[in-house]
Every structure is written in structure tokens, then in C-alpha cells.
Chain A
């Protein structure tokens, strides 16, 4: 063994190198305050290991970026741990660097001959921040998409080159495929290479200049190995434990939240996301920008940050005198207080902002749904998760309803998405449309004339309310029992998913109801049922509430099979091309409660 080591040493000089690295003299002996360098290298090491592993599962394109990250997060074993480590180390790194810089400034360790070392540290912090910024976008979820879009727009206001730089970085006028390939290349290629180069310079300078102690020290000098190495190792372990805690915290405390890093709903350029915020350590900049009126943004976004960075670079020269050093300390203090205050303001404003909270909540619901659909037997189509969400009734139904129906109709009293509507309700509440409960309300003398049914329409005084209020109101007990069967029969026409079991179970009663509907109940005096009836003046009860019926109804409610001339203000959504066939089908499916639901987990 020794012979092999000797042979290798003669040719490489590795012993001298290890001695230089491990037996470096530490003035005043090992100290906890010297663990920064080790911790930093540890974190960068984690980022390289997890980053390369993530790379092996990531696919940068608009149809596959979110999809591959979601697959990694939710399907691949240990994927959540991998992502979590990368995500939270990216949060710890800037903190470590900033704290280290603070310590260097406070100790005056930027003074000659360490100026270059200090500058390299500043560059390192900026490289790390750029990596965080570019990495934030790669999952291509709503949050990352909209937040980095803001950052790119800020880049665009840089005089002269801003616009071109922006266009080069995002690969065109709009965010798209090239944005992802470029951000990924920058994040996983260009910046890590830069980081390695900067880091080597820093390590070289560190070795050349040795540790900077607080002179004079009462303790004797000691080599790095093993005392300082032990402290560094303990610090690394503490970081690893912190990372694990951050990753598992929602499981430990049983709070709602992801295992590891969050993944939002897939990015959708057509769905603005009002809860877009940058990563927390950029929040102060976000808040700072709000202070500047239009056309003055350049001051807040570029000039002032540029000046601040400039002061940092000049610190070694300013700090040559005692007064200069005090200025540096004061500047640092003011900056940290300012950043802290801005961050706090941003957070507390958001905490009190109801529409922001609603957007975060809606984004959470959509993200959970996207994850659920991706896991479903149909999975992610080739068109990507956006195509998947766009054809999901549960996701699109409420939005379509809020936009097209909720100015008159309601859904459980709201607009479908859970928001209350300012306009007065003038047409029926469609939650549970076609179900037995809904129909029972329609045939209820007390309820038919409320706005939840016909109350807000001109049909309020039509034949149906008259029939319900005069005839049904005076029904005998026997007739009431018959009515229940008729309602079950009409409701069975809809074939609602929620009633399938009930319909199958009560097939005999439903068959009886169908006969009663024609004879005893006289529904067919006005309605058509199963046999064509040219004289029918009310909506067809054949297939009432079924998908086909609803699609035709939405296409044109004034069709003779439905309300005909009696139709109130409801537009012919299909025939007037207000909605396309897919949108109508999505609305119909949503109203019928027909969407994919994961099978309950069997334990």
C-alpha cells in the first residue's frame, strides 16, 4: 500500500497537497467561527450531487418540464428528498454567504492583503443568487413562471442592452421552449462552471493567505486537522439536519404542505397568477420596487442595487482608515435593517391581502388537482399537463361557469369558484342540477318561486310554477309518494355519477315512476318524454340532465325541444359560438359532477 502511495506521490505530489489543505496553520487554534468555508463547500457539494441527479430526471421543454419534475417529486422513490435537498440548500447557501460576508466585514478581514478574497466572495454570492433565480423557473410551475417573468422584465429596463439581453436570455419575445433550454443551460452549465472557477480562486487565495485570526490571540496555533476539521464536520452535520427538518417539517408537525420542495400547478401563460412572488430572499427587492413610480423603476431595480454592490466592492479601500471601517459597519447595519424591514413589510402585506391569499389557495387546489390527474390511469398526455388540466371538468367547469353563467345563475350560492357575485341572482342555482334533491326543490311549492329555481326569470309565472303551487301543493299522501317515484325516474334520465348506485338499486320504482310520469302526473301534457311530441311546450324529459341533453341545451336553450319561445335571457352558447364544443362539454360534465376522482386509498 505504502509503495503504491509513494509511487503516486512521486508523480503527483498529492501528499504535499493534502498537507497544504489539511495541515494549514490556524492562528489561535480551531474556532467555531471558522466553519464557514467548510459549510459553504459542503452546501455547494450537495448542490452538485443533487443537481446532477435531478438533471438525470429533468426534461426542459414546455410540455415536459413540469411533468418531469412532478414525476420526480411524486412518483420516483426518493425524488422528493432529492428535490427537497436541492431546494433548501439553495435557500441556506445565500444565508451562509451573507453571514460570512458580514463576519468578514465586522472583523475587518477585507483589509490588505485580503481585498481580492473579499471581492471573490462578493462575486460568489452573486453567482449563487443567479443560480437561485434561474433554478426557480425550471419546474415551470405557475409560481416560478410568473416570478421569473417579472425578473426578466426588470432586466428589460436596463438602458441600451436590456431589451436585447432579455430577448437573448428568454430566447424570443415570449416565454417558451427556448426560455427553458436557456435557463437550464445557464443554471446547470454556465453558472456551475463559473462557480467552480470562482470557488477555486477563493480556495487558492484562502490557502495562500491562511486563516485570519482576531489578533492578538491567547491560544496557541493549531493545524486544521483534526480540531478545525471536527468543528467543520459538526457544522456540516448540523446543516444536513436542518435540511432534513425543512424537508420533513410538514410531516413532523402534520401541517398541510409538501414533502420537500413545493411544486405549483403547471405554468399557463393564459392564466395570470396573481400570487407570483420571488423566493423569500428576493422579497425585499420586490417590495423595494413598489416604492418607485413608473419610469423610475430603473432607480430601484438597477441604479440603487448597483450602487450598493459598488460600495461593497469599495469597502476594502474605504476601510483603510478607522473612520472608513466604521462607515462600512454602519452601511452594513443600515442595509440589513432595510432589507429586514422591506422583507417584513412584504410578508405582512401579503398576510393581510385577501386576494393574494385567495390566489395562493386557488393555486394550491390547482396544483393538487394537477398532481392527481398526472397520477390517474390516463396520466399526462403528450400535449403535457396544461392539455391535461384544460380538458379537466373539475378545473375548467368553475372558471367557465363564473365567466359565462354566474351573472344570472349560482352554484351553491357562489360563482362556481367560491367567490360571491355582486349582481343579483336572476336564474336557478345549478349545484346538483338534475339530481333528486334538486328536482325535489323544483317540485316544492315553497321553493319553485325562489330565485334558486324560477323566481328570477319570466318563467316565474309560467305553467310549471302554477302546476306546482296549485296541484302539487294539494297532493294527497298517495300522490306525494307517486311524485317521489316520478322524480326518481326523471333524475335517473340524467344518469348522474353520484346516483348510479341508487338508480340501479331502485330500478323497479324508477320504472313505475316512468309510467306515472305519463299517466297520473300528467307531465307529458307539456313535456315530451321518450315518444316524440310535436305539441310539447316544455323541455324534453327524455334524457333530462344527461350529458347529451345538457350539451344540446347549452348549445341552444330556445330549441323547440327545450324552452322554445319561452326561453328567457339565456344565450345559445353553442349556436352563437360564445363557447366552443369542448367548453360546453366541460361545463356539462362539471355540472353533472362527472370528472376523474382517484380511487380512495386502500390501506
Chain B
């Protein structure tokens, strides 16, 4: 018994030393890792503000027969450290849907984010990447379309001076529901 006691004590001391070595070393190594993780996850804590309503064109510029026309959306854009004003931030299809009524569709395909093309022959939109096809109003045209949802509609306002304003917004691709990209 007597000979085992110092053994146990030195065993405890050994354990203490080992744990302490791991803890101290761990704390020291934690510092750079922490700094890296905080800085690298910064984009998760950064919110982009919506551009608000943007003037796109005048209502007279839209074909009377309801054929959609593509317009660039110009607004200010913040790209990390660069800030620019009046630069293209996206594009929309505008289409007359009746007297004094205009519908706006974001040109981005909700499947994988390509820009859809208007096809006069099919009287609808086709995505050049994976062949998603959409009706004129943005609805999915055929059941085999890979797109999970219809083209994204955007709020439109026609002001008294005849200008067309769109509240531009991008939405997350690949999801069945419309979730804004913020």
C-alpha cells in the first residue's frame, strides 16, 4: 500500500500537467482561429439594403400588344469597399397587361440563376441553361421544367408622368418559395 501512494500522486500530477498543457496550448491556438472565423463569417452578418423603387422607363416605351421588353435596372450598388451609383444591378421584363397596367418579371431564372430569354415563337420565356420554360406571365410552362417556381414578379408602379417604377429585388435560386436575397 505504502509504495503505491506516491505512484497515485505522481499519476495525478501527470494528469494535471497533461490537461494543463492541452488547455494552455488550446487557448493559445484558439486566438488566431477565432480571429479567422469571425472575419470570414462577416458576410453572414452583413445585410444588403434593397434598392427601393427604381425608375425603369416610360410606359410609352412598352409595346401595345403585350409583348415583353427587357430593361436594365440602374441603381447604386455596394460591392464590399466599392460603391457605385447608377450602375446595372439586374434586368426586368416589362409587359403591358391591360390599360394602365404593367407587369414586371425579374429576368433571373429561379432554377440556377441564368437570365431567361423571351421567345416570340413560343410566346414565353426560355432559360438557355437548363431549358426551363415559362409562360408570358412567368408561370412554369411545362411540367418537365427544372425550375422550382415561376419567374419572380416584382412590384410595379406607374407614376402620373407615365414613368414606370419597379421595386427591384433578387430572390434565392433553387427554392420553391420566393425568398429575397439580402
A interface residues, Cβ below 8 angstroms from B:
42, 45-46, 49-50, 52-53, 56-57, 64, 67-68, 70-72, 75-79, 81-82, 85, 225-227, 229-230, 232-234, 236-237, 239-240, 243-244, 374, 377-382
Q: How far is the CA of A243 from the CA of B33 in the complex (A)?
A: 14
In the assembled complex, B32 has its CB within 8 A of some CB on chain A: yes
Alpha-carbon separation in the docked complex, A379 to B76 (Å): 11
Cα of A378 to Cα of B83 in the assembled complex, Å: 6
- Name which residue of chain A comes closest to B33, CB basis: A49
The 9 tightest CB contacts between A and B, nearest first, are: A379-B83, A78-B38, A233-B25, A53-B36, A233-B24, A236-B28, A71-B81, A230-B21, A81-B35
Segment touching A, from B12-20, B66-74, B149-157: B12-20
Q: How far is the CA of A112 from the CA of B5 in the complex (A)?
A: 45
* Residues of chain B whose beta carbon lies under 8 Å from any beta carbon of chain A: 14, 17-18, 20-25, 27-29, 31-36, 38-40, 42, 45, 78, 80-84
Instruction: Determine whether the beta carbon of A229 is less than 8 Å from that of B21.
Output: yes
Sample 6 A-B pairs with CB under 8 A, ordered by A number: A45-B32, A53-B39, A82-B35, A225-B21, A233-B22, A380-B83
The answer to whether A382 touches B84, judged by C-beta atoms less than 8 angstroms apart, is yes
Q: Which B residues touch A46, using CB under 8 A?
A: 31-32
Are A77 and B32 neighbours in the complex by a CB distance under 8 Å? no
The answer to whether A56 and B17 touch across the interface, beta carbons within 8 angstroms, is no
A234 lies within 8 A of B24 (CB): yes
Cross-chain contact of A236 among B24, B36, B78 (Cβ < 8 A): B24
Partner pick for B39 among A64, A79, A237, CB 8 A cutoff: A79
Question: Interface majority SS on B: helix, strand, loop or mixed?
Answer: helix
Q: Which of A75, A78, A230 is close to B20, meaning CB atoms less than 8 Å apart?
A: A230
A77: B residues at CB distance < 8 A = 38-39, 42, 45
Judge whether A232 and B25 touch: CB under 8 Å: yes
Q: Specify which chain A residues have a CB less than 8 angstroms from the CB of B40 in the assembled complex.
A: 53, 56
Do the beta carbons of B25 and A57 come within 8 Å of each other?
no
Q: A226-B17, A237-B28, A377-B83 provided; 16 other pairs, C-beta below 8 A?
A: A49-B33, A50-B32, A68-B80, A71-B81, A75-B81, A77-B45, A78-B34, A78-B35, A81-B34, A232-B21, A232-B25, A233-B20, A233-B22, A237-B25, A379-B78, A380-B83
B39 and A57 contact, CB distance less than 8 A: yes
A70's nearest neighbour on chain B, judged by CB, is: B81
Q: Which residue of B lies closest to A374 (CB)?
A: B81
Q: Which residues of A contact B17 (CB under 8 A)?
A: 226-227, 230
- Bound: A46/B28 CA distance, A: 10
Question: What residue in chain B is nearest A383 (Cβ atoms)?
Answer: B82
Residue of B18, B20, B36 with most partner-chain A CB within 10 A: B36
Question: Given the complex, which residues of A lie within 8 Å of B36, measured CB to CB?
Answer: 49-50, 52-53, 82
Chain A residues positioned under 8 Å from B21 (CB to CB)? 225-226, 229-230, 232-233
Q: How far is the CA of A77 from the CA of B36 in the complex (A)?
A: 10
| CA A494 to CA B33, docked complex, whole Å | 56
Q: Are B28 and A67 in contact (CB under 8 A)?
A: no
Cα distance A81–B40 in the bound complex, in angstroms: 12
Select B84's contact among A70, A230, A234, A381, beta carbons within 8 Å.
A381
Query: Once bound together, how far apart are the Cα atoms of A67 and B82, in whole Å?
Result: 8
Kindly state the separation between the CA atoms of A226 and B24 in the bound complex, as whole angstroms. Answer: 12
Residues of A within 8 A of B33 (CB): 49
In the complex, A382 Cα to B85 Cα: how many Å? 11
What's the least CB distance linking B65 to chain A, in Å? 40
Secondary structure dominating the interface of A: helix
**Is the Cβ of B81 less than 8 Å from the Cβ of A85?**
no
Q: How far is the CA of A79 from the CA of B41 in the complex (A)?
A: 11
| CB–CB A379/B81 < 8 A | yes
**B29 near A45 (CB under 8 angstroms)?**
yes
Most chain A CB neighbours (cut-off 10 Å) among B39, B42, B78, B81: B81
Cβ–Cβ contact A85 & B20, under 8 A: no
Most buried by A among B17, B23, B28: B28
Given A57-B39, A77-B39, A81-B38, A236 and B81 contact (CB-CB distance below 8 Å) = no
Within the complex, the shortest CB–CB distance from B54 to chain A, in Å, comes to 18
* Shortest Cβ gap from B97 to chain A (Å): 37
CB neighbours of B39 from chain A (8 A): 53, 57, 72, 76-79, 81-82
CB contacts (< 8 Å) of A380 on chain B: these are 81-83
Give the chain A neighbours of B84 by CB distance below 8 A.
Answer: 381-382
CB nearest to A75 among chain B residues: B81
Min CB gap B19→A, angstroms: 9
Looking at the complex, which one of B27, B35, B45, B83 makes contact with A237 (CB distance below 8 Å)?
A: B27
Q: How far is the CA of A53 from the CA of B36 in the complex (A)?
A: 6
Contact B82 A379 (CB under 8 A): yes
Contacts of A79 in B (CB 8 A): 39, 42
A236 contacts B42, C-beta separation under 8 Å = no
B29 and A76 within 8 A (CB): no
Cβ–Cβ < 8 Å partners of A243 in chain B: 31
- Residue numbers in B under 8 Å from A244 (CB-CB): 31
A68, B81: Cα distance in complex, Å: 7
Cα distance A244–B31 when bound, in Å? 9
CA distance A79 to B23 in the complex (A): 26
| Most B C-beta atoms less than 10 A away, residue of A56, A78, A381 | A78
Residue of A nearest to B23 (CB): A233
CB distance from B119 to the nearest CB of A (A): 35
Task: Give Cα distance in the complex from A75 to B46, angstroms.
Answer: 10
Report which of A53, A68, A382 forms a contact with B35, defined as CB distance below 8 A: A53
Alpha-carbon gap, A52 to B28, bound state (A): 18
Given A67-B82, A236-B25, A381-B82 in contact, is the A226-B14 Cβ separation under 8 Å?
yes
